[in-house]
Amino acid sequence: MTAPRIGLALGGGGARGMSHIPVLEAFDQLGIRPHAITGTSIGSILGAAYAAGRSGQEVREIALELFADRNAVLASLWKLRPKKLTDIFTGSTVTFDPLKVLEAFVAHHLPETFEDLEVPFKAIATDFYGCEEVVLESGPLLPAIAASIAIPAVFRPVKRNDRILIDGGVANPLPFDRLPADCDIIVAVDVVGGPVPRADREAPTSLDTIFGSSQILMQSITQQKLKQSAPALLLRPENDNVRVLDFLKTRQVLEKAEDLRLLTIQRLTQLIAELEKNN
């Protein structure tokens, strides 16, 4: 029997998305390369790196190195701040250019185009004015990922082919339905999470409210999708106090997500055995 075609969908969720990494390591430990990968927001960054041929361990090392030094991270972001006074504020929030952020932090870890990837990969974004999901799968890679991660209130929208694109999680936070129809097994990793209270505050901050509302909406979208069809393996890290922008907690997120690696190995092994038995 030929090796099963396994599709991998990596959802959006900000810093909680580092929980994807132990799942990638589980694939490596089992000696499996995905048949195809889809990614939304943070899932598009990690999915592209894995599709480019990086191992899960390499992705872990890159993530830990990027966020090991708080001062270095903040200094890099300070350099990337909008320089013109008229560009600093959009409404009432400071917004960064997502492409420049990617160029500063991860560009040298990724190839230039989708066509350079070793595994077929799709990044999910949202057409702001068109009010619809956009699947990006060809051409320059970094601008596509920039569109996929363009979280409102944090990043500026990205213009691509006369469309204004924002974070893919707005339309499709868990894109398992964008994997090829010929996948034998679909694995989806949902890292959206939900709002969590702050110990030192009775009420959420304005930013907490914005991000928490988005999490609630994304959960609703995913719940409706799961009623129509479901992946063979749905993985979710524990909901905890890690918020969307808590990337400096990367090591903590990885430690807590270790159970996902073990669960992925166990369940995927069972699914493959069942598939082989039935065939």
Which amino acid type is present at position 27?
Answer: F
pLDDT at 91: 42
Six token digits for residue 88: 């600093």
Instruction: Look at 106 and 94; give whichever has higher pLDDT.
Output: 106
Asked if 167 and 152 touch (Cβ cutoff 8 Å), the reply is yes
Q: What is the CB-side half-sphere exposure of residue 246 using CA atoms within 13 A?
A: 19
Spatial distance between the Cα atoms of 157 and 95, rounded to a whole number of angstroms:
9
List beta partners, residue 9.
Answer: 38, 188
Residue 85: pLDDT above 50?
Answer: no
Mean pLDDT over 89-101 rounds to 70
Q: Of the given ranges (47-61, 158-172, 176-190, 232-246), which has the lowest mean pLDDT?
A: 232-246
Spatial distance between the Cα atoms of 210 and 207, rounded to a whole number of angstroms:
5
User: Quick one: pLDDT band at residue 205, thresholds 50, 70, 90?
Assistant: confident
Residue 120: pLDDT above 50?
Answer: yes
Give me the chain's average pLDDT, please: 91
Mean pLDDT over 153-162 rounds to 92
Spatial distance between the Cα atoms of 178 and 122, rounded to a whole number of angstroms:
8
Spatial distance between the Cα atoms of 43 and 175, rounded to a whole number of angstroms:
10
Mean pLDDT over 231-248 rounds to 90
pLDDT at 87: 45
pLDDT at 94: 56
Instruction: Look at 272 and 80; give whichever has higher pLDDT.
Output: 272
Residue 257: pLDDT above 50?
Answer: yes
List beta partners, residue 127.
Answer: 132, 165
CA-wise closest residue to 50 among 95, 10, 93, 96: 10
Six token digits for residue 133: 């999901």
Residues 6+ apart with CB under 8 A from 60: 21, 25, 254
Q: How confident is the model over 52-64, as pLDDT tens digits?
A: 999 999 999 999 9
Q: pTM for this structure?
A: 0.93
Residues with active-site annotation: 41, 167
Six token digits for residue 35: 């048949």
CA-wise closest residue to 221 among 120, 123, 124: 124
CA-wise closest residue to 224 among 149, 164, 173: 173
